[in-house]
């Protein structure tokens, strides 16, 4: 038998060292660990009544912010539809059923693992309509408008900055209200149980 060389010894040492790489997890093990309850990182420890009332007020404020973001998105959707020629002036409060239906379509048709392709197609249609009409309404409303927040600024009349801002707002109007509201409601339930 040959004497081990320096390279052979290094290879043997490397093989015998404990691994610092993560272990390979089988799909069955992954399934088992994913179904186990994990502690929530966002949970707060709430002390007495004073802390509960303070947190409740903050969470109600968060729900208000969520409602205002939804309202802004709905407003710009209706603004766009009116500018596109849809007569909504005589509809009164019933016109708010349009953005409410769009929101319902996005929330309850949200794609899941085994969703049929039709559900995905309708969801994407609702999402594109929501973001697109909010974008269009925002650009029509905001172009050249002076905003007096902080030291004040003027929104551009056209171009990349206006459309980038409109796209960000459209995506925010589509996704943020529901995410904020669900989080705030779950925190309220946890606070008062």
Total domains present in the chain:
1
Residue 79 lies in a domain: yes
pLDDT at residue 144 above 90?
Answer: yes
Q: What average pLDDT does this structure show over 54-78?
A: 95
**pLDDT tens sequence across 113-141:** 888 888 889 999 999 999 999 999 999 99
Residue 63 lies in a domain: yes
Q: What is the pLDDT, as a whole number, of residue 32?
A: 54
Residue 153 DSSP class = E
pLDDT at residue 158 above 70?
Answer: yes
Residue 1 lies in a domain: no
Structure tokens given for 152: 């004040």
Q: What is the pLDDT, as a whole number, of residue 37?
A: 57
pLDDT at residue 33 above 70?
Answer: no
87: domain range?
Answer: 48-191
Q: What average pLDDT does this structure show over 133-154?
A: 92
Residue 176 lies in a domain: yes
Indicate the average pLDDT of the chain: 83
Higher pLDDT, 61 or 20: 61
Asked if 135 and 167 count as a contact pair (C-beta separation under 8 A), the reply is yes
Residue 64 lies in a domain: yes
Asked if 27 and 159 count as a contact pair (C-beta separation under 8 A), the reply is no
Q: What is the pLDDT, as a whole number, of residue 101?
A: 93
Residue 11 lies in a domain: no
Q: What is the pLDDT, as a whole number, of residue 96?
A: 93
Residue 164 lies in a domain: yes
For residue 77, with 0-12 CB atoms within 10 Å meaning exposed, 13-18 middle and 19 or more buried, which class applies? buried
Cα dihedral sign for 27, 29, 32, 33?
negative
- Residue 91 banded pLDDT, cuts 50, 70, 90: confident
């Amino acid at each position: 038998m040959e004497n081990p060389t320096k390279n052979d010894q290094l290879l043997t040492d490397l093989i015998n060292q404990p691994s610092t790489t993560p272990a390979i997890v089988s799909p069955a093990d992954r399934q088992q660990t994913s179904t186990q309850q994990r502690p929530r990182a966002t949970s707060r420890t709430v002390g007495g009544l004073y802390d509960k009332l303070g947190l409740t007020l903050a969470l109600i404020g968060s729900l208000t912010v969520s409602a205002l973001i939804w309202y802004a998105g709905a407003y710009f959707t209706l603004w766009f539809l009116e500018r596109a020629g849809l007569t909504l002036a005589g509809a009164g409060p019933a016109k708010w059923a349009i953005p409410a239906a769009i929101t319902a379509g996005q929330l309850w048709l949200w794609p899941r693992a085994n969703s049929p392709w039709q559900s995905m197609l309708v969801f994407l249609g609702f999402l594109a309509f929501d973001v697109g009409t909010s974008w269009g309404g925002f650009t029509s409303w905001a172009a050249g408008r002076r905003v007096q927040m902080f030291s004040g600024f003027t929104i551009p009349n056209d171009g990349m900055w206006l459309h980038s801002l409109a796209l960000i707002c459209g995506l925010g109007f589509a996704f943020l209200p529901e995410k904020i509201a669900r989080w705030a409601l779950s925190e309220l339930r946890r606070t008062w149980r």
